Structure 1
Amino acid sequence: MGRDTAVDIGPCIRTELGESPLWSERRQRVFWVDTSGGFIHSLHPASGQTASWATPAPIGMLAESPAGGLIAAIGNSLAKISETGDLETVAHAPHGTPDTRLNDGVYDERGRLWIGLMHNDLEPGSGCLYCYTPDGQWHVMARGFTLINGMAWLQSCRELVVTESRPGALYRYEVDDPQRPLATPACMAQISPHLGYPDGLIRWRDDSFLSVLFDGAAIAEIDTACRQRRLISLPVSRPTSCVYVPALGRLFITSARLGLEQPSAQDGALIALDM
């Protein structure tokens, strides 16, 4: 298990639970969130300039719509984010309660947002997967999740891979009609508990994904045939998610300090790998 050269690029920012890194090409910025701390952070890699905005509730996801707008999952709601950090709530999850929140999500090529709902106490089977459509409709596509996390599309955008962090599986769904619940998924990969919990997920190559291993201090590359190609070790105990910026040749990785009795100087940082 080799380690690529890691660079700590956010020396002034340490998150309790860093998540949802996003590269905005039009803004030339990396965005990420502190879920439990309630902050949105951004970095301009060329200048090193950073900015931060507070949110009124835990923030589970940050995404850029196909039209280029920033949208965040804050508590059980979706909100648009202005260039100055102002929030405008646009929708509320229909099954949201004070004990739940929206978590990870991903857009498809038709502008639909696929996003998970989870229980704060991780009640087994209490979470679900939504498809939120541009006309403002919420469709429950799958149920029975405990900790629904990172999602990524296969090349055709007709198959969606969804992370279930407990018990550590990547499920592969065939997507046909976004208004009908998805069929029973295939288990694309099962992560051994000793490697950590799968958290963030991105498409890496045509035939592989990168799964970030919380508590595993590593990222696993897994191909579509369920084979683990390699483990990339990291200098943080609890990496959470990642995003690749092709123009920079860098993978940006969020991490957490949450729950660590003696966090290191880099735990909670945004780090980068030259890939």
Structure 2
Amino acid sequence: MTVQVTAIQQAPSCILGEGPFWDAGAGRLLWVDIVGRQVHALESKTGLTRQWATPLLVSAAVPARSGALMLAMQDGIYRFDPEQETLRLFCRADADPENRSNECRCDPQGRLWLGTMHNNIAPDGAPRPVTRFTGGLFVVGPDGRSRRLLGDIAVANTLAWSPDGERLYFADSRRKLIWRFRYDPEGPTLHDQEVFVEGGPGVPDGSAMDADGFLWNARWGAACLIRYAPDGRA
């Protein structure tokens, strides 16, 4: 397989870039700078970028149908209107003050999923070690109510569903594992947890699912992407 990689020269640099997300409806690429407390957008037609400052650490930006952005921030999910530049709390899923949000995506049914972790960023932006498995995986409904589906997580990463919507992929970077679950959208509930990938270069970070059911996983500490087949082969 031949992969072409193109550098986006006009994109602003980040202290800790995270969560690139293609917003097809708006024709733009979204991403955040966790430590820099910035949300970025690159417009595909004009090549122009926009930035919005946030008052807290921000780890993901997910577009809503209304045009708002759902921001996974340090202590919860916030609804941000990029035109009015207004911000309001939508959900505080994880009540542990020593944790922070890290991963956030929508499932095929449009519900928000949030992965949290032991906060590894000091108030001055300096890194600090992850020493606790106190994070979790939460699902958030349209009314802002949340439910925890998994606990005992150190560093939540990767939220990706198979093209048929029957499998969920989720990682704990501290354990160097990517898990796969059978996904029931009615609950939603997770079943039949299995290790999908263990080990490899670096540690598993965020992922994207392609149309063929292959999982593209960014490897923190190894400066690479690995494409995993549905059977786990790289």
Bin for the TM-score computed over the shorter chain: 0.7 to 0.9
Q: Secondary structure at the match of 1:156?
A: coil
Name the residue aligned to 2:25.
26
Quote the residue 1:161 is aligned against: 169
Gaps of 5+ in 1: 229-275
Q: TM-score, normalised by structure 2?
A: 0.87
Distance 1:120 1:36, change over 3 A: same
Aligned residue number for residue 89 of structure 1:
89
Whole-angstrom distance in 1 between the partners of 2:48 and 2:188: 44
Residue in structure 2 matched with residue 36 of structure 1 by the alignment: 35
Q: What is the RMSD of the two structures over their aligned residues, measured on CA atoms?
A: 2.2
Query: Number of paired residues?
Result: 224
Spell out the pairing of 1:42-53 with structure 2 (5 A cutoff): 42-53=41-52
* Cα distance between partner residues in 2 of 1:16 and 1:2: 30
Contact 2:67 2:81 in 1 (8 A): no
Task: Tell me the CA shift for residue 158 of structure 1.
Answer: 2.8
State the partner residue of 1:16.
15
Structure-2 residue corresponding to 1:213: 219
Aligned ranges 1:113-152 → 2 under 5 Å: 113-121=112-120, 122-152=130-160
Runs of 4+ in 1 over 6 A off after TM superposition: none
> 1:167 & 1:18 partners in 2: Cα distance?
22
2:90 is paired with a residue whose SS is strand
Identity of aligned residues (%): 25
Higher relative contact order (CA 8 A, sep 6+): 1
Q: Secondary structure at the match of 1:175?
A: strand
Deviation at residue 191 of structure 1 after TM alignment? 3.1
Moved more, 206-215 or 88-97: 88-97
> Residue 127 of structure 1: CA displacement?
1.1
State the match for 1:202 in structure 2.
208
TM-score where L is the length of structure 1: 0.75
One-letter amino acid of the structure 1 residue matched with residue 225 of structure 2? I
Partner Cα distance (1:21, 1:43) in 2: 10
Please tell me whether the aligned partners of residues 117 and 133 of structure 2 are also in contact (alpha carbons under 8 angstroms): no
Report the AA paired with residue 47 of structure 1: T
* 8 Å CA contact retained: 1:131, 1:178: no
1:245-264 aligned within 5 A: none
2-structure distance, mates of 1:209, 1:54: 31
Please give the alpha-carbon distance, in whole angstroms, between the structure 1 residues aligned to 2:171 and 2:63.
20
Partner of 1:185: helix, strand, or coil? Answer: strand
